[in-house]
Every structure is written in structure tokens, then in C-alpha cells.
Structure 1
Amino acid sequence: MERKHFLKAAAFVTLMPVLFLQACVEADKKDGKTEQKQTYSCPMHPQVVQDKPATCPICGMDLVLFDKNSKEASLTLGESQIALANITTMEVGMGSLSDFKHLNGRLAIDPEKTTVVSSRVAGRIEVLYVKETGVKVNRGQPLYQIYSEQLNALQQEYLLAVAQTKQFPDDARFRQIEAAARQKLVLYDQRDEQIAQLVRSGKVNPYMTYTATAGGVVSELQVTEGQYVAEGGVIMRLEAYDRLWVKADVYPAEASLVHVGQSVKVLVPGWETAAQPMTVQFIDPALQGGSQLMQLRGTVNNPDNRWQPGQQVNVLLPVKRKEELIQLPVDAVIRNGKGAHVWIETAKGKYEPRRVSTGIENFDAVEITDGVDEGDKVVITGAYLLYSEYMLKKGADPMVTMME
């Protein structure tokens, strides 16, 4: 019995300090005196975590307090953080916005920029200076040399007329014959300097070199060296690509939205930020064969020949326009399954999310129907980085926080 009393006393003495310490901790908790351990992290490198203020060993930025228990719905960033995140804002104002319908289209050759090179005289092609398609040709560049008996006869006729005029300078009839013979040479594309050289030399030259009357790319070559061609026979075809047709498909139900003279925009894949203006010049009144589609057509400039015929494009057809509305760039609005929100700068370096409702939108801008007022400063670049920063610091989606 005495042994039992002894063991109880020993156990009580042993456990008393532990019970005393636990009671003190509980008392401190009740009094709110228990300090929570603070954690600091780098906004750009969240893997860097420390228990005291410092700088990031990777980028040198100041570490910020990482507190998921904070209920504050805003973020505060320093100047260096704002610069690194490329955060810019704009003051909201009223404006107008057009909604667009996307039409599938393609680029095509403009027939007005096509040049057919044909033989001015009948003869044999002696030399072809351009022997393959796809070669770029400049205006005035030699294309081919031809041997022509007909040209040889015309030159002899002109030399004879010149000799008669010199012998009888006062005879008007001989002067008329000389002028007529010269005009024949001009009609066969003989230049003034060539005719003058013919008179000086007094010798005929049946070989004639023809040059390009326009620049372009050789798209078709129909002769070879040594081949005989008739007068007017096609030598080659040149196409210039500095201006192209745009053909876009339109469903009959959409035909009422389109009219000749209407302004639209053309987007070429890879150059979405450089929309090209175009005016509708023609609307095909009949449906395309084998389809239920109509077709509209216009022309766009092709600077530096950067686009090729056959390339696919998108034509933006304006179908609705609103005046006096609040609009923001598309990248300023962050959307997810819980809704849409933007970031408002409430003070210098302080940003908070705000739930918004959207209306019509196009490729560049979106209408804000609720949530933003005129004069608010909205983040237009860097909004997604703010969203990520909020998730990092708060551990929650801003949309969830705003709904609480």
C-alpha cells in the first residue's frame, strides 16, 4: 500500500511541470499572446522562402510577407516590382465599340497587276534572258532577243526613205514617206535612239532586244530559245504582288450585313496586330458552285510583298456599334469559370480586384457593363501577373474572395 502512494506521488511531481507549461500556453492563447511565425517569399521566385525580411538571392528583389491568412483584398507592390511586371494603367472613359463577324477569306492575284509580254514582231527567239518562272523582273530589264525578217525589211524601207529625203529635201511627198516608214518602226517598239543609230550606221539589224514594260514576277513562260513565234504570240506573263485581291465567303443569311463601299478589316495570320483596312468593291450576286456561299471582294496593299496569293485571311465585318460605353483592352479582363474581373489601382502601388460584367467585344476591346466607373484607373498590362501574385500571397482565387 505504501508503495502505491509512493508511485502516485512520484508521477504527480514528474507531470506537474509539464501541466504547468501547458496551462501557460493555453492561457497565452486565450489572451491572444501567441505569436504566429511570419514567412517571407520572393514574388518572382516563390521557391525562395525565409523567416525574416531579406532580399532574393536570385533577382535581388525585397522579399514580401507571405500570409495566406490575410483577408485584405488588395496587393501592394514596390516600384521595382511594378517595373518588372510591366504594370501599366489607364483611366476609364466613355467611347464607342464595334462588334465584328469573322469571315473566312483568302488572298488572290489582282488581274490589274498582271502584264502579258507578247511578241511585237514575228520571228525566232534567239536569246531568253529570263528562263524560269518565279524570277523577279524590273521595269526596263531585257527579257528576250528576237530575229525578225519583217523588222529587217522595215529598217531597209526606212533607210531608203531617209536617203530619198536627203536627195530631195524640198519634196513633201518624200518627207511623208520617211515619216510613215519611221512610224512603222515605232509601232514595232523601236526606240528613238535605236532609229537614230540605224540612220548613223546605215546598216540594218534584224536582231531586236525587248525589255520589260512593267515590273513583276514571272508566273508563266511559254517559249524557249530557238522557237518561232507569230506576231502577238505570248512570251511570258508577269504578276505584281504589291496589291492583292481579298475574296471572303458570305452566307446568304449574312448578305444583308454587307454592301459595296463598306469598310472592313483584314487580318493575316502572323500579322494580327497589323489589321489592313479594305473597302468592299464587289459582291458576287450568285452562289459559288457546289456551295451555299456568296463572295465579296476587295483589295489590300501588300508592303514588301510579305504575303502570297492563296494565303488564308480573316475578314472582320462590323455588325454592331455602340456609342458612349466603357471599354477596356481585352487583356485587362481576366476570365475564369467563376466570372470576370479587372484590377483597379486604388493608390500608388496598391491594386485590388473588382468583379465586372462584360458586353460586346472584338479582337482588341471589350465593353464593361458593370463594375467599373468613369475615372477608375484600371490595369491594362500585367493583370495576369497580379492575379498570380494574389494567388501566391493569399492562397485563394480573387473571385472567391470577392464573393465572400
Structure 2
Amino acid sequence: MNKPLYLPARWTQGRLLACALLAGLLTLGVGACQQAPPEDAHAHDGASTYFTCPMHPQIVRAEPGKCPVCSMDLVKATKQGGAATPATAVAPAAALTHYTCPMHPQISRKQPGKCPICGMDLVKAAKAAPATAGGPAAAPEVLLSAQQRQLAGIRVAALGGAASTASSAAGTTVLTGTITANANQTRTVSSRVAGRVERLFVRQTGATIRAGAPLVSIYSEQLQALQQEYVLSLAQQRAMGTSGNQYGRLVASARQKLRLLGMSEGQLRTLAATGRPTSSLTFYSPQAGLVQAVGVTEGQYVGEGTLLVSLTNLSLVWVEAQLYPEEVAGVEMGQSVQVQVAGLPDAYSGRVVFLSPEREANSKVTLLRVQLANAGGRLQPGMQANVRLPSRGPTATVQSLTLPQDAVLRDSRGSYVWEQVGTAGRFRRLKVTTGAETDETVAITGGVPAGALVVVGGAYLLESEYALYQGTDPMAGMDPSIKM
């Protein structure tokens, strides 16, 4: 017979109390479930439930799973649906206000509340007016208060007006260019012998060099051998006197070899007079100018053709700019143009010396080259400059519509501007087509009519508000294989 198991009284009472509490909680839970209204089954009539990523709200799935971007677990969310009410159809402006989550802009509610994903308070935002029957959807709109417009520095100007047209005088095309060295005044000094760099007379770029100044001295056994040959031929010719004319051809041949190696006439005369070959060959500057590049260091072994020093003369420089096809017709070779260099108050007068007959690879532009006189040496390669071309012919009478670069916003889908509509504080986003551009302006060829009030200052704030409240796709331009 099994003996009964006796437990300590304190332990038994504690266990019994815990069991009683657990049973009570289960009873209350069952009762609450029976008494709760059937919200899960019917409260979301007209709404849709989906699964999304907290970090990438553009990811939407019908079933739970992992985010294809960051591999986080998808969370359940609810999106309101249903047809528009008759009031919305009669007064589209009433649909311009809704409530959304700053972190999850796909959440849209008609009333304030909490975000079902992160629990943040929903904020009031502007929303595009619904599409009219049989017509396209209205452009997205954003509402800003007076304080927001003041803090953001929102400025508007009429398209085609003086404030929005920044292309200086009518009939003038402004091109962005860069000052470069004149290739016709650039010389390179290369080694004509194989040997070792014994001495480097110039060590840094930008140094001023006079014509005939020493540049590099190179030790060469080949040079010594040819000098010995030349001295021996001269000695034999002198020893034979008038009967040694047959040695004249040997002397001339040895002399020509030394000349081709880079020895000057003065060096050859000194060698003939002394009869003592030198162990090194010194290369001299062929012109005055600036040291553009130094290709060797002392002690370095070089071969024939090695670049030693590159020299350039900056008394004449080039400005290289790019032209669109529609602008080429107004340019002629030798045409006089005005050039304004960044950081310098004075304008320079130059002339067109080159217009490329072909377009650059994978581009719609062609190369224009303008030559400028640089007597004072103030113009240096790499400086930015604007080239002003006076338009000719029929193009001079055409008034292009241009906007500042900051007024035109771009993404992978195209170019956009913000237009003020109605009263101050209401703006809508318009897609536009653009034409020729400079570093300051963009030509507008379509999408917005002339005279429209376009935002020319603070457009980036409007774009950020649009991205925040309208749910602009932050993954635009990424792998299209990712399902949205």
C-alpha cells in the first residue's frame, strides 16, 4: 500500500493560492471575451488589413513575413478604404486635410488618433484633391502656415518675370566653363637616354622657368661611349691631316648621334675643344613658363622617352564650355565673347577658337573653346568661368522661360516645381520638362504656364513636407524587382 504524501503546510497553502489566482484570471478573460463587442469581425468594414515594415513603409504584403530590404519582421496595419462620400465629390477642397503618421506616411485617417504601427500621435497634413469623374487626379498640394513660410524663406515669382528669369539680358546665352592651359603653348621634356637622374633642378609645380634654364641632369653610360667615339674620330682626323678626310664621315656621324641624344651645339664645341667626355647630360627648358608637372626624382633610373618635366605658358589660356545643339547655330569661329571669371571683378574679352563638330560620348552637348589673353597671370587652370554668347538670328527674339536651379527639384521620375495656388500658403507640385541649363538657371519648356507663381526660394521645404505627408517612395531609383 502506498503511503500518503504529506507536504509542508506553508508550501501547500502557497501553491493553492497561486492556483486560485490563475483560475480567477482565466475566468475573467473568458467573460471579457464573451462580453466584448465583435470589433475584430465587423469594426473594420470598408478597411483593409495588411503587413508592412516599420522601417520601410512602402513594403506591403498580404501575409506576415520578412522585409525584403532590411529583413525585419513585418507588422500588421490597417488602411481605411471605401468610396468617397457625396460631400467629397461636391467639395474636393474638404479632402485636402487628413491625419497621418510622421514615421509611416501610408497611414491616413480622417480623425486624429494613434498610429497603428508605432503608436505615435497622428498629425494634420495636406492631401491631394481626389480625381474628378472622368478626369485625371489633381496635383498634390501642401498647406503651410504663415509662420512656416517665414521660417522656410518661401519666395514666389511669376514664371517669365524678372525675378524668375536669371539669364541676364534678353538674347544672351550663359555657358558654364573651366579655364584650362593652352595646349599650343605646352611643352614636355623627355629623356633621350637611359640612365640615372643625378640632379633635379626643378622640384615643384607652379615654379616660373626662363627659357634655357637647366631642368634635369642624367648620368648615362651610353652617352659616355658616344662621346668617346666622337673624341676618337676627331683625334684620328687631326692626326691624318689633309689625308684624313675619310675620317670626316665618322666625325659627322658621331656628332649627329650626340645631337640626337640632346647635346647642344655649345656642349659639342666644348667636348671637341677639351676632348674630355662628360658623365652626365643636362636637359634645358625649351621655353619660358610654369612647371606643370615633374615626372622624376633624384636617383631614379629612367629609360628613353620617360617624361622629365612638363612646361606651360599661361600668357594665353582657354575656357572650355559645353553647348546644347540648339545653341550651336548662334556661334561662329572667331566670334568675340565676354567671359566672367568666378572671384574676379573684371570681365575678360575672348574669341571662339574651337567648336567641336561632334557631340561628347553619351551626352547631348558639344565642346566650345574660347581663348583669353592672360597678361597679368591672374587666370589659372581650374578656375570657373561663365561665357556669355550673344544670340543671333531668329533665336534672339525668343524669350525663354527660366527658373533658378534651386526652384527645380529632380528625382528618378522627372523634374518638378511648386506653384502657389489660390490664397497664400497653398502650393501644388507640378511635373515639368526642362531644356538648356547653366550653373544658375534651368529653361522650362513645358508643364507650367507662363505667368504662374512658382516657388523660387524654399522649394526644398515643400518637397520634404510632401515626402513626409504624401508618402513619397523613399526607395525610388532602387531595384525594381522588390515588390511594393
The normalised TM-score by structure 2 is 0.43
Q: 2:175 aligns with which of 100, 103, 119?
A: 103
Q: Which residue of 2 aligns with 1:241?
A: 314
Q: Which residue of 1 aligns with 2:300?
A: 227
Q: Is the 8 A contact 2:186 2:311 kept in 1?
A: yes
Alignment of 1:298-309 (within 5 A): 298-309=370-381
Residue 271 of structure 1 deviates from its aligned partner by 4.7
Alignment of 1:4-403 (within 5 A): 99-170=171-242, 171-271=244-344, 273-287=346-360, 289=362, 291-320=363-392
Specify the SS of the correspondent of 1:275.
strand
Q: Is the 8 A contact 1:268 1:314 kept in 2?
A: yes
Q: Is the 8 A contact 1:288 1:295 kept in 2?
A: no
The one-letter code sitting in structure 1 at the alignment partner of 2:298 is E
Specify the SS of the correspondent of 2:391.
strand
Q: Distance in 2 between matches of 1:148 and 1:252?
A: 55
> Unaligned 5+ residue runs, structure 2?
1-168, 394-484
Q: Distance in 2 between matches of 1:296 and 1:193?
A: 44
Q: Distance in 2 between matches of 1:316 and 1:265?
A: 5
Residue 306 of structure 1 deviates from its aligned partner by 0.7
Q: Distance in 2 between matches of 1:280 and 1:160?
A: 53
Q: Distance in 1 between matches of 2:386 and 2:361?
A: 19
Q: Distance in 1 between matches of 2:353 and 2:249?
A: 53
Q: Which residue of 2 aligns with 1:343?
A: none
Q: Is the 8 A contact 1:264 1:280 kept in 2?
A: no
Residue 283 of structure 1 deviates from its aligned partner by 2.9
Per chain length, whose mean CA-contact separation is higher, i.e. which structure has more relative contact order (CA < 8 Å, sep 6+)? 1
C-alpha distance after superposition, 1:169-224 (max 9, x if no partner)? 22321111112111222222222332222223222211222211122222222211
Give me the CA root mean square deviation: 2.5
Residue 272 of structure 1 deviates from its aligned partner by 5.1
Q: Which residue of 2 aligns with 1:347?
A: none
Specify the SS of the correspondent of 2:276.
coil
Q: Is the 8 A contact 1:98 1:320 kept in 2?
A: no
Q: Distance in 1 between matches of 2:372 and 2:296?
A: 33
C-alpha distance after superposition, 1:49-76 (max 9, x if no partner)? xxxxxxxxxxxxxxxxxxxxxxxxxxxx
Q: Distance in 2 between matches of 1:177 and 1:117?
A: 29
Specify the SS of the correspondent of 2:222.
helix
> Unaligned 5+ residue runs, structure 1?
1-96, 322-404
The one-letter code sitting in structure 2 at the alignment partner of 1:303 is A
Residue 98 of structure 1 deviates from its aligned partner by 9.5
Specify the SS of the correspondent of 2:376.
helix
- Number of residue pairs matched? 225
Q: Distance in 1 between matches of 2:202 and 2:188?
A: 14
Q: Is the 8 A contact 1:288 1:294 kept in 2?
A: no
The one-letter code sitting in structure 1 at the alignment partner of 2:388 is L
Q: Is the 8 A contact 1:103 1:248 kept in 2?
A: yes
Specify the SS of the correspondent of 1:214.
coil
Q: Distance in 2 between matches of 1:219 and 1:312?
A: 19
The one-letter code sitting in structure 2 at the alignment partner of 1:277 is G
Q: Distance in 2 between matches of 1:317 and 1:105?
A: 12
Residue 305 of structure 1 deviates from its aligned partner by 1.4
Residue 240 of structure 1 deviates from its aligned partner by 2.1
Q: Percent identical across equivalent pairs? A: 38
Cα distance, 1:155–1:287 mapped onto 2, change above 3 Å: closer
Q: Distance in 2 between matches of 1:230 and 1:125?
A: 10
Q: Distance in 1 between matches of 2:312 and 2:335?
A: 28
Q: Distance in 1 between matches of 2:221 and 2:251?
A: 20
Cα distance, 1:275–1:202 mapped onto 2, change above 3 Å: closer
Q: Is the 8 A contact 1:120 1:231 kept in 2?
A: yes
Cα distance, 1:277–1:202 mapped onto 2, change above 3 Å: closer
Cα distance, 1:148–1:298 mapped onto 2, change above 3 Å: same
The one-letter code sitting in structure 1 at the alignment partner of 2:210 is N
Q: Distance in 1 between matches of 2:357 and 2:317?
A: 18
Q: Distance in 2 between matches of 1:275 and 1:196?
A: 49
The one-letter code sitting in structure 1 at the alignment partner of 2:294 is L
C-alpha distance after superposition, 1:10-52 (max 9, x if no partner)? xxxxxxxxxxxxxxxxxxxxxxxxxxxxxxxxxxxxxxxxxxx
Residue 235 of structure 1 deviates from its aligned partner by 1.1
Q: Distance in 2 between matches of 1:317 and 1:255?
A: 10
Specify the SS of the correspondent of 2:262.
coil
C-alpha distance after superposition, 1:94-147 (max 9, x if no partner)? xxx995322222211222222111112111111111122222222111111111
Residue 265 of structure 1 deviates from its aligned partner by 2.4
Specify the SS of the correspondent of 2:272.
helix
